[in-house]
Amino acid sequence: MPKPLNLPLWRPSLLLAGLLLSSCASYQPLPLQEGRPAGLVVDTRSLPFAPMAAHRFDPADGLDIVEVAMLAVVNNPDLRLVRDDAAIAHAQSFSAGLLPDPQLALSRDLSNSVGAGGTKAFSLGLSYDITSLLTHGALHGAAERDADKTDLTLLWQEWQVASQAQLLFVKLVQGRRQLAILDQTRQLFADRYQRTRQALDRNLLNSDAVTPNLTALQDVDRQRFDLMKLQNQAAHDLNALLGLAPETALVLRDDSGLGQLDTQLVGAALDGIAQRRPDLLALQAAYQAQDQRYRGALLAQFPALNLGFTRARDSSNVYSSGIGINMSLPFLNRNRGNIAIEQATRRKAYDEYQVRVQAARNDVRRILDEQALNQAQGARLEADLRALAAALARSEQAFRASDADALAYATARSALLSKQLEQVALQQAVMEQRVALRTLLGIDMTQLESVKP
């Protein structure tokens, strides 16, 4: 009988180690750098929303409400962290898809007390965890659904950031309109105060004619400064949201007129909200992932099985081969704890999805009701403004004819100013509700108006 080939064990071991090291990943340094503000540049190919990507981005003529949203999606600093989370989730999904490595056991007798005719003993074994193959499909499916959930969560965060940018755009544009009204009114009261002051100095009028104009001028100045502070805060908030330097002065172009809300389009979008809104789709993916984990927990209740093969030689130069099986006895644990946990967690994911869908529908209905109320209020404001404008014209004519005092004119002018500011604030509320409505419905920059002015 031929003697088995006796190769030194360290040679195949070195060969195996060399093969493993050749396929290993290597370290790549990533030194920290100080962040720099972004610029007014948008690569439309990187935008996640098709209608937004089709919109022309040209800051040379000012930014409209869509361009501001595009810039926010591309440059927002917080979205960079969410994208990093998405990359981690995909890496985890890749890791979960990998099969576990087999286990290699190698031992060698290093003693020098081998007798005559003896040899050094060794043992070589190869084993594999069979149970991991049973749960691999379910756990990999759960990881894939988690990656889908992270992608959809990122999409929802991008949509939320775009919505925030649009709301700040509306606040700045409408604030600019309010400031224009206040500037016009201030110029009028400042001119009247200057004229009455000069007349008082020449003893042509008494102080009662000067005080109302001065009080009205001071009140307008107070409103202007309060509004400018709010505008300054909104401008800095928008720059921070867009990842721009604090001193950046954006030129905003207001060309977004309000039209009649198309209730049929809103109703159709509301019916399909669960199949379109990213956060609801993310919750669906989270439920599917948890369902896969529940399946994996059920599969893991079966006995854990580890299968191995061994090859050995004893000191008397006798070779042996064998098969080893390690199996757990499912008498006490049976993975019942993990099954209960995963089942309860799946139920929570189910309830969370139901609650979020119902909340989304309620929010849409609430905004629709508010839009109807604001429309009625807007019609009433139009009538009030016409009446106040006519009353102011009569008051000014009477004041010039010395049939009315300055206080009556200042009161009429202040009433008109208040209504004008109320109208702009109402228009701002309506525009903000339209932005919120598009966000809640998950409509990618689609206008919900059927008729525009």
DSSP one-letter string for 234-259: HHHHHHHHTT--TT----B-------
Q: How far apart are CA 188 and CA 169, in angstroms?
A: 29
* Residue 20 pLDDT: 55
* Residue 2 pLDDT: 44
What does the pLDDT profile of the chain (453 residues) look like in tens digits? 444 444 454 455 555 555 555 566 777 787 776 666 666 777 777 788 877 888 888 888 888 888 898 899 988 989 988 889 889 988 988 888 888 888 888 888 777 665 666 688 888 898 888 888 888 888 889 989 999 999 999 999 999 999 999 999 999 999 999 999 999 888 888 888 888 888 887 877 777 778 888 888 899 899 999 999 999 999 999 999 998 888 888 889 876 666 677 788 888 888 889 998 999 999 999 999 999 999 999 988 888 888 888 988 887 788 888 888 888 888 888 889 999 999 999 999 999 999 999 999 999 999 999 988 998 999 999 999 999 888 888 877 776 766 656 667 777 888 888 888 999 999 999 999 988 988 898 886 545 555 444
This prediction has a pTM of 0.80
The helix/strand/coil state of 122 is strand
Q: How far apart are CA 245 and CA 19, in angstroms?
A: 51
Closest to 273 measured CA to CA, from 261, 282, 281, 264: 281
Beta strands in 63-175 (DSSP E): 103-108, 122-129
* Residue 410 pLDDT: 75
Note the CATH architecture for domain 102-129+301-334. Answer: Single Sheet (2.20)
Query: Taking the CA of residue 46 as centre, how many other CA atoms within 13 Å lie in the half-sphere pointing to its CB?
Result: 12
176-218 pLDDT tens trace: 999 999 998 888 888 888 888 888 878 777 777 788 888 888 9
Q: Phi and psi for 383 in degrees, rounded to 5? A: -65, -40
CATH of segment(s) 63-98+130-300+335-451:
1.20.1600.10
Query: Taking the CA of residue 317 as centre, how many other CA atoms within 13 Å lie in the half-sphere pointing to its CB?
Result: 10
Ordered by start, the domain boundaries in the chain are 63-98+130-300+335-451, 102-129+301-334
